[in-house]
Amino acid sequence: MKVKDYIEGGLKNFVEVTPSDYKEIGKCKSGCHAVSFYIKEENGKITDVKFNSSKRCKKLLAVADYVAEIIKQKGKVEFKDEEVLEFFKDEKEIEKVKDRLEIIKKALNK
């Protein structure tokens, strides 16, 4: 999938402000890019994930949103670079996608 197509489909997990019943699990700032992740837990399992990031970079927004979806699906902060990169394999600037994924991994201590 291309980042443009993902963004046009709508971000499912982006928030402007931290939701009141969520806790921040990490953040990272790299140059002009910044991202923060928030989770909601029940019985030690992640039930929802939200994120906030600089809106300037569509690649960062798309990758963070997709990673949030993976975390929600698994119920824990666990994902592989390959599954994210495979999802965005149609993107021309894959090196930039890899760079944004590194920012996300730093935010999530991965």
Give the mean pLDDT of 68-73: 96
Report the amino acid identity of residue 73.
Q
Report the amino acid identity of residue 109.
N
**Residues of 82-106 as b/e, b for ≥16 C-beta within 10 angstroms?**
eebeebbeebeeeebbebbbebbbe
| Contact yes or no for 68/40 (Cβ under 8 A) | no
Residues 6+ apart with CB under 8 A from 6: 62, 65, 66, 88
Calpha distance 62→78 (Å, rounded): 17
**pLDDT tens per residue across span 25-68:** 999 999 999 999 999 999 889 999 999 999 999 999 999 999 99
Q: Which of 38, 16, 35, 15 is nearest to 25 (CA)?
A: 38
97 pLDDT exceeds 90?
yes
Calpha distance 10→81 (Å, rounded): 22
